Amino acid sequence: MKKILAGLLCLALCLTLFAACGDKTPEKPEAVAAVEAMIDALDPADEDAIREALIAYDKLGDDEKAQVSNYDTLKAAKERADEIAEIGKALADTAEEIRQQKLSGSQQYSENLEKAKALIERYNALSDDEKARTGAEEAVAELEKQLPAIEETQGSAEEAAAEYLKAFRQLHPDETVQALYCIGKRDSEGTFYYIFALTAKAGDAEKNYYATARSIDATAETYVSNADAFFASSPVSTHDAVKNGNITLDLAKVESLIK
């Protein structure tokens, strides 16, 4: 009996020790704990701290990286920092593009209009601290100053294109316009003008027309009465409005403006 009791006590002791060993969580390597501590103390606005934490994380082995429990926090901070930097660079680049194109007498009106509006919207969604981190305050101010003039030019181009398209339909009622091209420039005296080109179809045959004259507040009647100058029939692949077209026209919108 004593032997049986002793055996049971020994078994119970073994089970207790086994359970205690099973409940014990292995300690994380010091390098992993150090990286986790860096991430816990991370200031999302401190790009240097984010960079240092990433360097420390990258030095870990694959098994150690898998043990970093708060890596998602570091990843999110890095992605946000990259986004803020990207917004700042895009704003500065767009402002510079518009500045240079204005100096050269040519502006990518519709392209830069939509790009600038989208970037300013993203910028305005940032916190004050994040806006400061973009370093783009001057670029935003410059773009906001330019936007009304760009929008006005885009609207004027669409209205001028509607007159051009109206004239073409009067001259070529059996042809269907497939694409409309436009370039806006300023001459040496600062006068702004447009040059148009278009591709149309008559049955299965594709035809190309382009203007050899400038359009300045021209009406459909003006285009019709000077058809040879405004609707020369020739391949347009090398025409300035096709190669360097800087005003993108929505054909459906232009058609809706025809009166």
pLDDT digits (tens, 9 = 90+) for 55-74: 999 999 999 999 999 999 99
Domain annotation covers residue 62: no
- Using 70 as the pLDDT threshold, list the residues of the chain that sit under it: 1-26, 101-111, 149-155, 190, 216, 234-238, 240-241, 243-244, 246
Per the structure, the complete domain to which residue 168 belongs is given by 154-256
User: How far separated are the first and last CA of the chain, in Å rounded?
Assistant: 113
Q: What are the C-alpha distances in Å from 53 to residues 30, 223, 247?
A: 15, 66, 46
Alpha-carbon span 120 to 107, nearest angstrom: 19
Q: What is residue 238's three-state secondary structure?
A: coil
Domain annotation covers residue 135: no
Domain annotation covers residue 172: yes
Domain annotation covers residue 206: yes
The number of domains in the chain is 1
Per-residue pLDDT reduced to its tens digit, 156-176: 778 888 999 999 999 999 999
Domain annotation covers residue 166: yes
Domain annotation covers residue 187: yes
Domain annotation covers residue 16: no
**Angle between helix 71-104 and 137-171 (nearest 10):** 60
Domain annotation covers residue 128: no
Per DSSP, the residues of 72-87 read: HHHHHHHHHHHHHHHH
Place of tokens 């299965």: 204
pTM for this predicted structure = 0.58
